[in-house]
Structure 1
Amino acid sequence: MKIAFWSHTREGACVTTNLACMAAMTAVHSEKKCMLLENHYSLRNIGDLMLPSERIECLREQGQYYNKYGLEHLLKELYSGKNDANMIQHTAIPLLFQNLFYLPQSFIVNRDVFNYEFELVRETLFQCLEEAADLLFVDTESNRNLSTTSILSDADLIVVNLRQDTKMLTEFFENHPIIRNKAFFLIGKYQPNHTWNLRRICYRFHIPRQNIGVIPYNLELEEAVTYGRVLQFLNRNIDEKQNKENAFFMRQVDRAVELLHQRIESCQDSRDDK
């Protein structure tokens, strides 16, 4: 199942951070195998958030961030006609237990070439990935590059990342009615005392409460993002009882994951009926 994480504006939407938190906690709370990837280059990607710098350097020394095991190499292999199930296994980096994996980027081509090659083999790539994993979490580029439009069209579910901003909220709900039909909404850096709190957003834009979650603003999470320790932060706070801020954060993330899981199950039932 393809789950696209997307925002109509990249600025402040926290798409990658939200994806990292939601995917990690999905892996913790379920037995589903989750695969994470991006369809674009960015200054701070999933690997930067979830792999400490010392592990990245180790992977580079082993060649796993270059031509041998990077996503770019996989794209070239698929383009050449190779379609071995073991290719995904050799490319993906295990992040958590045996059910959370990441397809790393090696940045060995420029942005335009990567975008072109990704779109060229997109259908074959996702076919292979869906055979290798139960859930695909795809970080998609906001400006709709060559593959973003196709991914959003093909996705079973689109996690629309929003923030508590009047202009951003209005722009999305006025201009993207088609995406809304298969959207689950997620508010990043959520602050409950903000004018645009969850209750007001749901009321103003007619969002069912079971179709929207929040990732609260958390200073420790921000620091974890900077140092590639998001997994460590989440693991450390799964059973947090003492720190009220972290306890509130984890409750809200767990709630968002539960709601997303309900949508996933609903989508799965719909697919099975077809």
Structure 2
Amino acid sequence: MNIAFWSNAYDKSWAFLNFAGVSIASVMRYPYRITLLENYLDKTNLGKAFFLDNISYNRDGIVSFYEGKGIEGLLRRIYRGDKDPSLLKYYRRAVIPKHLYYIPQNGVINSNLFDYELYHNFHDLNRIIQCNTDLCFINVNQQNHLSSKIILQLADLVVINLYQDSDYLRNFFSNYSSLISKAVFIVGNYSMKSPLSCKRIAKLYEIPLEDIAPIPYNENFHIACKQGSAIEFINSNYFCDKESPNYLFIHGIRKAAYIILQKAEKNLALAKRG
């Protein structure tokens, strides 16, 4: 099952931090194997958040695409016709063994070429991933990329990162209404002082309040992601009490994970019946 994370206010909603946090929280309590990937190349990627020895980008950029590892190397193997599901074990890295895996970036090609390759090989890549995992979480760039379109189209569930601003909310509900039927919502960078509370957003746009999770920005988690210690941060704060400065953030990612996986379980059950 594919679950895409997307936002029309990617930076303002801190969608990257939400994706990292929810991904970790999703395997803290639930017995799934989840594979993570991104449909864009950037130095700020999940490898940097998860691993102290992040080597997603080579130092001098000399390594050719044909020698690449990570997601680029896997796409090249698929393009050449090698579509054996066992390939994945050579290109993904365990974040939490037996539960959470990440297909890292190697940064050996430019973003436009990567987007083109991902778009044309996504069906085969997806089949390989589905043979090795229960759920696939894909962090989708908000820009008008070829691969973004096919990923959102084929996703079984779309996690929309909203932003508490009238213009951004109108933009999403006016221009991306086709996603709503298979969406759950995160309100990122959430402020309780904003008049656009989750309850207000639910009422204005006629979406179920139980499908919305507020996640405030958390500077401590942001720092942890820069230092490759996102896992350690979530582990040490997962059961923090209400007096903790990290409580609202942890509560938000735990609620989001619960909503997402409840929806996923229903979809999986329906698929088995079908």
Write the letter of the residue equivalent to 1:119.
Y
Cα distance in 2 for residues equivalent to 1:219 and 1:41: 24
- In structure 2, the partner of 1:81 is 81
Report the identity percentage.
27
Q: Deviations over 1:196-216 (max 9, x none)?
A: 121211111112112111222
For the 8 Å contact 1:17–1:49, the answer to whether it is kept is no
The 5-angstrom pairing of residues 110-149 of structure 1 reads 110-149=110-149
TM-score by length of 1: 0.91
Write the letter of the residue equivalent to 1:70.
G
Cα distance in 2 for residues equivalent to 1:126 and 1:222: 30
- In structure 2, the partner of 1:99 is 99
Cα distance in 2 for residues equivalent to 1:127 and 1:58: 24
For the 8 Å contact 2:56–2:106, the answer to whether it is kept is no
Write the letter of the residue equivalent to 2:125.
L
For the 8 Å contact 2:92–2:102, the answer to whether it is kept is yes
For the 8 Å contact 2:213–2:255, the answer to whether it is kept is yes
Residue segments in structure 2 that go unaligned for 5+ positions in a row: none
Query: How big is the shift at 1:252?
Result: 2.5
Cα distance in 2 for residues equivalent to 1:212 and 1:144: 25
Count of paired positions: 269
Residues 59 and 149 of structure 1, relative CA distance in 2, 3 Å threshold: closer
Write the letter of the residue equivalent to 1:27.
V
User: Which structure 1 residue ranges, 4+ long, deviate > 4 Å from structure 2?
Assistant: 57-61
Q: Deviations over 1:151-200 (max 9, x none)?
A: 11100000011111111111111111111111111111212222212121
Write the letter of the residue equivalent to 1:149.
K
Cα distance in 2 for residues equivalent to 1:143 and 1:191: 25
Residue segments in structure 1 that go unaligned for 5+ positions in a row: none
- In structure 1, the partner of 2:70 is 70
The 5-angstrom pairing of residues 258-269 of structure 1 reads 258-269=258-269
For the 8 Å contact 1:157–1:184, the answer to whether it is kept is yes
Instruction: Give the alignment's Cα RMSD to 1 decimal.
Output: 2.1
Write the letter of the residue equivalent to 1:269.
A
For the 8 Å contact 2:56–2:104, the answer to whether it is kept is no
Query: How big is the shift at 1:30?
Result: 1.1
TM-score by length of 2: 0.91
- In structure 2, the partner of 1:33 is 33
Cα distance in 2 for residues equivalent to 1:192 and 1:155: 31
Instruction: Name which of structure 1's ranges 70-79 and 187-196 shifts more when overlaid on structure 2.
Output: 187-196
